[in-house]
Structure 1
Amino acid sequence: MTERITVSAVERDDAPAMPSWAQNPTTYAQAGVDTAEGARAVDAIKDAVHATYRDEVIGDIGGVGGLFSIAKAKNMADPILVSGTDGVGTKLKVAQLAGKHDTVGIDLVAMCANDILATGAEPLFFLDYIAIGKLRAEAVSEIVSGIAEGCKQAGCALIGGEMAEHPGVMDPDDYDLSGFCVGVVDRPEMLDPARVQPGDVLIGLKSSGLHSNGYSLARKVCVEGKTHYELRLERDELDGMSVEDALLTPTRIYVKPVSKALKENHKAVRALAHITGGGISENLDRALPETVDAEVELGSWDVPPIATFVCKAAKLDEVEALKTFNMGLGMVLIVDPARVEAVEASLAAAGEKTYRVGRIVEGSGTVVYANEGALFAGGDEGENVEAGQEQA
């Protein structure tokens, strides 16, 4: 039998000094958490939050839970609640570097609301979580104003959230965002990949830029090592925008125009894909059954200048670009070929730029590409362009 030996650290000469209790009281504020500033922050965001409210909202912010009536769902045959949660990722680092915080909240809502839209659901309400190193009411108000704007664009109510101060864990100026969205759809009206069949047409919706994906790469090749002057310099290859502004262009929220098209063209849209992390290659296949492929025709839509700029700076070839960024397509609808023009007309009337980007063919549930080599206009993909440097 092994003998158990107990060693007391206090009895050893080289033992560390044992901690002692503080001699004076230490308040929560002295520990780095200012509850008074938190209350001021809540007051500062009330107007922005109230501007998002729908008739179904019950009560006000500040309670232990957000309340929302779903009485309207009783008119549905089989109401299904659809939820989604996401964040903004390292795009926040660009916002913090630029000192511009009023658009990343739009990105936060977009990432969640566009996801649940892919089922055909209507977003109903949204909650946010803000983790921040040092709580300042004005800074939080700026962030929440963006979240509220995103909720208005998506038609959902901002009914609650949390602001958490993390002294000693995060730098004072650092913050992170996450969001949670709930929507509803009647089961008979749900979009269903099982309905997709050969001959269906792919309609792509124009993105506003990189949206909120691929920013670890974009920051590495376009931001790191660059001066503030270089990042804020207006550039011809970005249509007169600076790198900073192009990277901070908020994600487009497609809820209202797509919902309108779905209602006006009943059952014409079989399924749709929200093009996020993984690009077209790793998102469009999620809207396919295992019996078909999505054949995407490269060169059939406009690639945003910022996408071309980042891909050239990173020397990405076509294959890598298509599985990293949305490359100009924020959403792809799979549509009954007999009703394509009607769906396009509905989307155009709602202000959307659309492209016919391909078709559904027999296959095995993957994304394939036609016209390879045509993604980048001019065919100079992979050419090295030093981001932040003037070109001759």
Structure 2
Amino acid sequence: MPLTSLTYRDAGVDIVAGDALVDRIKPLAKRTLRPEVLGNIGGFGALFELTGKYKEPVLVSGTDGVGTKLKLAFQLDKHDTVGQDLVAMSVNDILVQGAEPLFFLDYFACGKLDVDTAADVVKGIATGCELAGCALIGGETAEMPGMYPAGEYDLAGFAVGAVEKSQIITGQRIGAGDVVLGLASSGAHSNGYSLIRKVIELTAPDLDADFHGRPLRDVVLEPTRIYVKPLLALMQAHPGMVKGMAHITGGGLLENVPRVIPDGLTAELRADAWEMPPLFRWLQEAGNIDAQEMYRTFNCGIGMCVVVSAADATAAAAALRASGETVFELGHVRAQADGEAPTLVL
């Protein structure tokens, strides 16, 4: 007996839904465009013209995801902020080398496409791109029946930026006596969520309950802060002032600050230099988490570290505060003792 004529939709892929999503995305992407973007969204490749802004441009690229924070987004059916997380994780990373983010691409994969959910995600991506000043230049929506449970999806993001070759920030100019400034985070950002979810699972808090003036559900899904514009403004106004930066992601303060500290030096940070935000205090108490484990897992309220000379610390902090950042003088860099870790929180 001959088979009934099959369609792609019979196999679980809805092309009409995909086209509808593209129509929803176009005005969101249009808001993020820069003059260097050539063509419109929907082509086979995205075109970006490197203009005469740079004498010796070096491209800096980064890619990341959102991690298991997505699990909470599924659980709470809130999808309009994880897109900003996606952008932030990559643009903040390339920023630490002095790069201006130029454009961003996203990858959204699901088992069955829900246009409203996907549009919410892309809305957050567009918001993140606007905050970073980069163009949402393209992406991929993959509907793959059987690959993901109903209602779930995965995200990946890709950022490309540029920096003048002579202005690349490597951290190699950092020396003893330099000051470490900390820029406040907006929350847990996109790291440590396997442990956050474990604490929630074991303690079963009311996620709709008031938590210091906001529902706990909003606090745990607060999107990652994007530091691009304030730090680019500082670097452009004061070339060479910033000696090194560390984006505090997976591995927390203890694992990320050493990535920019030269061998033979230690960054000594004072725990009393900033107040750990309520979310982290709750996690530490509810999960009975050791302090060093907190500093190794979470940003603990510091989303970006900036290293400057002691002579520039006051001016750098003032400029960043004028740009809307909350800034703490966390500590200083000194010679490393035998067997000592490259970053200490005391």
Q: Same fold (TM over 0.5)?
A: yes
Which residue does 1:190 correspond to in 2? 168
Q: Is the 8 A contact 1:44 1:138 kept in 2?
A: no
Asked if 1:308 corresponds to 2:281, the answer is yes
Pick closer, same or farther for the CA change 1:36–1:321 going to 2, 3 Å.
same
Give, in angstroms, the shift of residue 320 of structure 1: 0.5
Which residue does 1:61 correspond to in 2? 41
RMSD (CA atoms): 1.6
Larger mean Cα displacement after TM superposition, 47-56 or 165-174:
165-174
Selected match of 2:304 from 318, 331, 337 = 331
Larger Rg: 1
What is the aligned-residue identity percentage? 46
Counterpart Cα distance in 2 of 1:272 and 1:53 = 27
Q: Is the 8 A contact 2:336 2:342 kept in 1?
A: no
Give, in angstroms, the shift of residue 307 of structure 1: 1.2
Counterpart Cα distance in 1 of 2:119 and 2:3 = 38
Q: Is the 8 A contact 2:98 2:169 kept in 1?
A: yes
Selected match of 1:281 from 242, 254, 267 = 254
Selected match of 1:253 from 217, 226, 230 = 226
Matching of residues 1-392 of structure 1 within 5 Å? 23-73=3-53, 75-76=54-55, 78-223=56-201, 226=204, 230-235=206-211, 239-363=212-336, 366-369=341-344, 372=346
Deviations 1:100-146 (A, max 9, x none): 11100000000000000010000000000000121122221111000
Pick closer, same or farther for the CA change 1:366–1:69 going to 2, 3 Å.
farther
- The amino acid that maps onto 2:165 is R
Pick closer, same or farther for the CA change 1:368–1:127 going to 2, 3 Å.
closer
Q: Is the 8 A contact 1:202 1:358 kept in 2?
A: yes
Counterpart Cα distance in 2 of 1:150 and 1:331 = 17
Counterpart Cα distance in 1 of 2:52 and 2:264 = 37
SS in 1 for 2:299: coil
SS in 1 for 2:181: strand
Give, in angstroms, the shift of residue 22 of structure 1: 7.0
SS in 2 for 1:193: coil
Aligned length: 344
SS in 1 for 2:73: helix
Q: Is the 8 A contact 1:265 1:342 kept in 2?
A: no
Deviations 1:36-95 (A, max 9, x none): 11001100111111000001111111100111111234x42x211000000001101111
Q: Is the 8 A contact 2:277 2:301 kept in 1?
A: yes
Deviations 1:363-384 (A, max 9, x none): 17943435x4xxxxxxxxxxxx
- The amino acid that maps onto 2:12 is G
Which residue does 1:14 correspond to in 2? none
- The amino acid that maps onto 1:25 is S
Pick closer, same or farther for the CA change 1:54–1:306 going to 2, 3 Å.
same
Counterpart Cα distance in 1 of 2:27 and 2:270 = 46
Counterpart Cα distance in 1 of 2:209 and 2:247 = 32
SS in 2 for 1:347: helix
Counterpart Cα distance in 2 of 1:68 and 1:113 = 17
Give unmatched runs, 5+ long, in structure 1.
1-20, 373-392
Q: Is the 8 A contact 1:193 1:289 kept in 2?
A: yes
- The amino acid that maps onto 1:60 is N
Give, in angstroms, the shift of residue 353 of structure 1: 0.5
Deviations 1:218-242 (A, max 9, x none): 0111146737xx111113xxx1222
Counterpart Cα distance in 1 of 2:17 and 2:218 = 30
Q: Is the 8 A contact 2:261 2:342 kept in 1?
A: no
Deviations 1:135-173 (A, max 9, x none): 122221111000000000000000000011121111221
SS in 1 for 2:160: strand
Counterpart Cα distance in 2 of 1:297 and 1:106 = 30
Q: Is the 8 A contact 1:222 1:243 kept in 2?
A: no
